[in-house]
Structure 1
Amino acid sequence: MMTVRPRRLALVVAPASGESFASWVDRMALRNGCPAWAIIEALGVDVRASSDVRSLAYGVVTMPETCRAIEAATGVSSEVVRGMHLEVFDGSVLDLAGVRVGDKESVRRAEGREWVQFFGSRVCPTCLAASGGVWLVWWKLGWAAVCPEHRTLLVDLCPRCRVSVRRGPAGRPARLSRSRMPAPLRCGALLSGAVCDQPIPQIGTSSVSSKFADQQQLVLEVVTHRRSALIAGQVVSAGQWFAALKATAMLVRLGVPEVLPLLDAPLDGQGALAAEVGGQRWNRAGPVGRFGMAPRTALVAAGLLAVALEVAAAESESALVARLMPLAAAARMRWKERRPDLLTQVATCAPSNVIRLVSGSVSRRSRLRR
């Protein structure tokens, strides 16, 4: 049986470089004067049949046949369409293996495991204003902390409604409305039936040093394979590099508050990290989930990134060990005899296995319980 593809749309907006799929759909909806749901239906993307609908894995992964349908409807190539989804980062900063369109459980597991926001985003208000409402896909990553161009922290929360930016009604995943028009430059969160109309370009931002901006740029270049990933002077895959950064971040969290004086971060960043670690709820993964969760704010992400990159940038394996040992010592002080002695293990193991040791040790929940 022949598959009937949707008719080519008369008014098509060209995707901006690095734009997210949801952002592109919203801008197309505005150009066509209709709700985003109508555009999604015209593109041939499956949506739920309810008053407010969204596709499972919307903007996360897509199927080849969906990409072909969108190409037929818009003239935008399947490769570009896929590049607007988070799956473009699969195998580097994200592991989306097992995520399937229409499988709610697979999406839920991946969102809880990966350092990413499937249905939310951080944002640079200045970039958003300059582009007229283009939301970049990398803003969704857990390591997204700083705008390299404007050297400011990305925004996490709307200052008016205190809901995570682009997250949706009262913090729940946003759905595609059949009636409301998109508002890319406004918050748009639904609270008790009212829509928050906070203009995002008017949200104040905090300046950061050129060092933090350069570190974020490095991450973006590794994510997009424009720069080789190095650990202790050795080339590794992007996936290994980000696993090492996460392992180091987990070790830092284990050492809070004793580790705070060792961090090259401003006092507000140290305070944010301490508050996040102290306030995290223990989930079904126990302490593993607590210390392995994605940073909740750009400020915490920037602090963890600075430490992790400093460790990875060691010029040799012995230097790598030297940089990890103070972090392990702080973790040992914090956990005392209730956890494995990482300091001793780091000092005695083969340097090339240090990161693997740290990653493996902090992920064994049975050894991390209080």
Structure 2
Amino acid sequence: MVTVWPRRLALVVAPVHGESFASWVDRMALRNACPPWAMVEALGLDVATSSDVRSLAYGVVAMPETCRAIEAATGVSSEVVRGMHLEVFDGSVLDLAGVRVGDKESVRRAEGREWVQFFGSRVCPTCLVASGGVWLAWWKLGWAAVCPTHRTLLVDLCPRCRVSVRRGPAGQPARLSRSRMPAPLRCGALLSGVVCDQPIPQISTGVVSDKLADQQQLVLAVATRRRSALIAGQVVSASQWFAVLKATALLIRLGVPEVLPLLDTTLDGQGALAAEAGGQRWNRAGSVGRFGMAPRTALVAAGLLAVALEVAAAESESELVARLMPLAAAGRMQWKQRRPDLLTLVALPSVFTAALDAVLGGQARRQ
């Protein structure tokens, strides 16, 4: 069978390092004066109907033949194309092994399980303006809390429409438009058929500490495998390191409100965490129950990140136990009631499991 590649495009925009695939497609569409649906079709993706967008795992994973088609159409290498998809984080901060292109149910399950927004995003307004509308892939991660460059909290909710920026109707992924031109500097969320045109550069955000900005930079370095992951002085895999952060976050949430005075975060951050934990639905049987939901806001993510990284930074097993002890004490009653099973089903490093067993008196392995 002869492979038919898409025709080479005359106008190509070079991807920016770290840019998300959807962002690049939008900028390509603007450069070629066509709507995103037409741009994606020109790149060789199968978009026979607009409803197919959800099942394409758009911007999440890309099949090798898709990457080759895009390379044929643009000259952008398959490796760079793949790097614009969230699968670049697979095996570190995300587990996308079960996501299959063309299977929207696998996409739905993965987004519910993983700490990520497949179709929405947080954003640094200053970065967005400086880049002329480039949306970075890591802004989609659940651990995305602050901009390490500008040292400000990321924006997640639009002040005008009050939903996550870039989201589609009713929290669903937005379909690629056949007629509307993209607007990278605006919210773009779709509500009741109306696109929110809130200018993102006009959204204010708060300044964060240098320490928190450096912690965010560490998270990105481990997520992209540019830095080794350590727990209690022992080298662990990136996926194990992030499992430790999630397990610590669950301990924190289980301890609300008793744990709040122990947290190295702002009063606003404590309030946001308390409000989220109060409305959290826990599912003991499923993956959500094991880890808890991904942080709903950047403010909550920042609070969890600051404490979880303090725990992960312990240089010895005894120090790890000491840092876990107050969190475990605050959440002991809630732990008994909810009995989360994450420690029996997730690949946590043995040094962390041993520390949890020490502070929880053997409850860490309860079934």
Query: Which residue of the partner structure matches residue 23 of structure 1?
Result: 23
Deviation at 1:292, TM superposition (A): 1.4
Task: Judge conservation of contact 2:174–2:190 (CA < 8 Å) in 1.
Answer: no
Query: Which residue of the partner structure matches residue 57 of structure 2?
Result: 57
- For residues 363 and 140 of structure 1, the distance between their equivalents in structure 2, rounded to whole angstroms, comes to 32
Amino acid at match of 1:126: T
Task: Judge conservation of contact 2:282–2:292 (CA < 8 Å) in 1.
Answer: no
1:212-271 Cα deviation digits (max 9, x unpaired)? 100000111111111111111111111110011101111111111111111111111011
User: Once the two structures are aligned, what percentage of the paired residues are identical?
Assistant: 85
1:26-74 Cα deviation digits (max 9, x unpaired)? 0000000000000110111122514795552000000000000000000
Question: TM-score under structure 2 normalisation?
Answer: 0.91
Deviation at 1:363, TM superposition (A): 9.2
- For residues 103 and 339 of structure 1, the distance between their equivalents in structure 2, rounded to whole angstroms, comes to 32
Task: Judge conservation of contact 1:169–1:191 (CA < 8 Å) in 2.
Answer: yes
Distance change >3 Å, CA 100–CA 341, structure 1 → 2: closer
Note the aligned Cα RMSD (angstroms): 2.5
Task: Judge conservation of contact 1:93–1:223 (CA < 8 Å) in 2.
Answer: yes
Whether 2:200 is the aligned partner of 1:197: answer no
Distance change >3 Å, CA 105–CA 325, structure 1 → 2: same
Query: Which residue of the partner structure matches residue 69 of structure 2?
Result: 69
Distance change >3 Å, CA 363–CA 17, structure 1 → 2: farther
Query: Which residue of the partner structure matches residue 180 of structure 1?
Result: 180
Distance change >3 Å, CA 280–CA 48, structure 1 → 2: farther
Whether 2:7 is the aligned partner of 1:7: answer yes
Query: Which residue of the partner structure matches residue 83 of structure 1?
Result: 83
Distance change >3 Å, CA 86–CA 226, structure 1 → 2: same
Task: Judge conservation of contact 2:168–2:191 (CA < 8 Å) in 1.
Answer: no
Task: Judge conservation of contact 2:321–2:356 (CA < 8 Å) in 1.
Answer: no
Whether 2:322 is the aligned partner of 1:322: answer yes
Helix, strand or coil: the match of 2:257? coil
Deviation at 1:11, TM superposition (A): 0.5
1:153-185 Cα deviation digits (max 9, x unpaired)? 000111001110111224321110111110100
Amino acid at match of 2:123: V
Task: Judge conservation of contact 1:153–1:206 (CA < 8 Å) in 2.
Answer: yes
Unaligned 5+ segments in structure 2 are 342-349
Task: Judge conservation of contact 2:284–2:338 (CA < 8 Å) in 1.
Answer: no
- For residues 18 and 287 of structure 1, the distance between their equivalents in structure 2, rounded to whole angstroms, comes to 28
- For residues 275 and 218 of structure 1, the distance between their equivalents in structure 2, rounded to whole angstroms, comes to 27
Helix, strand or coil: the match of 1:177? coil
Distance change >3 Å, CA 129–CA 318, structure 1 → 2: same
Unaligned 5+ segments in structure 1 are 343-349
1:119-138 Cα deviation digits (max 9, x unpaired)? 01000000001101000000
Query: Which residue of the partner structure matches residue 160 of structure 1?
Result: 160
Question: TM-score under structure 1 normalisation?
Answer: 0.90
Task: Number of aligned residue pairs: give it.
Answer: 357
Task: Judge conservation of contact 1:250–1:362 (CA < 8 Å) in 2.
Answer: no
Whether 2:51 is the aligned partner of 1:46: answer no
Amino acid at match of 1:142: G
Query: Which residue of the partner structure matches residue 274 of structure 2?
Result: 274
Amino acid at match of 2:186: R
Distance change >3 Å, CA 221–CA 287, structure 1 → 2: closer
Helix, strand or coil: the match of 2:332? helix
- For residues 74 and 352 of structure 2, the distance between their equivalents in structure 1, rounded to whole angstroms, comes to 49
Distance change >3 Å, CA 82–CA 286, structure 1 → 2: closer
Distance change >3 Å, CA 290–CA 273, structure 1 → 2: farther
Q: State how 1:232-271 maps to structure 2 within 5 Å.
A: 232-271=232-271
Distance change >3 Å, CA 2–CA 254, structure 1 → 2: same
